[in-house]
Amino acid sequence: MRFLDAACCPVEENSRAFTDAALAELRARRWSAGGWARFAGQVTRRSAEQVAAHPRAAAELTVLHSAFAIAGRGRGRRWILVSWLMAVTHLGLLGERRSVGWANVISLARANLPATGEPLGRWVGAAALVSDRLDGTLARRTQPTMFGFYADALADAAFWTWLGIRREPSRWLRVATLAAWAAPVVAVTAASVSKGEMVESPRFLLLRPAAALQVVLAVRTLHNRPSPHRAAASNTHGIA
């Protein structure tokens, strides 16, 4: 499998500078309640400015997630809402682009498979593998963005963590799933807040093991028949 390299994506300097400055101020305030309140206010204002600067992309994201909500038939509404919020508050990462683009649409569709993929049944993992290959190919043929780089990475983290925890009967593979996707996201976030600037994950060190684990989980999902207890838990408590 091939992956989109961050080095291929033009960095939106203003967005990176804003994030580093906001994190530095939060650190200077010793992560106090007042510091977190100011940080939240700064992020909210910046996000509103970027929505105003990218109205077409904001509208596309809203229509797209509305379609996810319809496809989910009431399932995973909070999951879809979080996906929309994360996407629409990071439009600055699109840079000069005004449209989200098909590659990012596919990445977001993969991220929301836990809410929309029930009709796929045991093929949901295989569908995610296909989408992962397709969005990377499309991004390389067009103009990659940092929005796409992060959307692809977080889509993988969201979907494969969900699949491993909810569909995988092996305890060791569930632990491997958390180590491959959830743990790096938590570690990078904590390190960025602690250091007072954005810290990039060593993604090249994680790609090959994670790619192999994707294939393992997808194949096992095709062949595993979950116990009635796990099936019920996945349907009723997996997402809300």
pLDDT at 7 over 90: no
**Higher pLDDT among residues 205 and 108, named by residue:** 108
Q: Whole-angstrom Cα distance, residue 228 to residue 69? A: 26
| pLDDT 10s digits, 111-146 | 999 999 999 999 999 999 999 999 988 988 887 888
- Mean pLDDT, the chain, whole residue set: 87
* Spatial separation of the C-alpha atoms in residues 218 and 205, rounded to whole Å: 21
> Percent of the chain at pLDDT above 90?
72
* pLDDT of 16 over the 90 cut: no
Residue 212 CA: distances (Å) to CA of 112, 133, 177:
22, 14, 11
Q: What is the mean pLDDT of residues 77-93?
A: 96
Residue 30 and residue 12: Cα distance in Å, rounded? 27
Residues 6+ positions from 38 with CB-CB distance below 8 Å: 25, 26, 29
N-to-C CA span, the chain = 32
Contact 149, 169 (CB under 8 A): no
